[in-house]
Copies of this chain bind each other. A is one copy, B any other.
């Protein structure tokens, strides 16, 4: 019969390609706060910072011509909760989690935020156990496919920037954005903004929970109208 420790250690060998000197650290990284006060939240904090640096460094190296703003957007995309939850599913961290029975029964082991946090905590644990170089290796293993297929820089630009560049490349004046409506209670307002491109006789409209979001939505609609959505 195999113990729980063996199971976790086998999973770790396979998923991380890393063997812990201090198995307790790995256990801690897999312990959800529903199971114990000795849970993975502090390791998650640390792992988030390790991940941030390793991905920043990878962006710096692989996008040698990209300005800081683009590096930053690439990184945000790669370290967001959504991506981390995907990685959590890929390495099947869910079934290894130690959680309270209520949390477990309600499906907590497959919840995105739980998976994302566990991935960060595991990274933090490797950093403490084996240092920066070991943690970097594990992260680059998690991200190998994603780093090999990074999107084009243009795709990461926001709609307002893309619209502006599109118009500029055709020697057209930039669009005018105008706030046309605000509604809703003070803490939950809805903004409506129009985007007007006089030279093309095009007016589109966008809605959002902030003026900025509404402007981006209006720009997206304009790009779609222009066949560049």
Contacts and interface: CB of A to CB of B under 8 A. Distances in A.
B56 A46 contact: yes
A79 B46 CA distance: 15
A113 interface: no
Residue of A52, A66, A189, A191 with most partner-chain B CB within 10 A: A52
Given A182-B186, A191-B186, A211-B186, A45 B57 contact: no
Contacts of A202: none
A155 interface: no
Contacts of A186: 179, 182, 189, 191, 211
Nearest to A189: B186
Nearest to A65: B42
A218 interface: no
A71 B45 contact: yes
A41 B53 contact: no
- The quantity of this chain's copies bound in the complex is 2
Given A179-B186, A186-B191, A211-B186, A60 B72 contact: no
A107 interface: no
Contacts of A187: 179, 211
Interface of A is mostly: helix
Nearest to A179: B186
Nearest to A133: B132
20 contacts: A41-B67, A41-B68, A42-B60, A42-B67, A45-B56, A45-B60, A45-B71, A45-B72, A46-B56, A46-B60, A48-B56, A49-B56, A52-B52, A52-B53, A53-B132, A60-B128, A132-B133, A179-B186, A186-B191, A186-B211
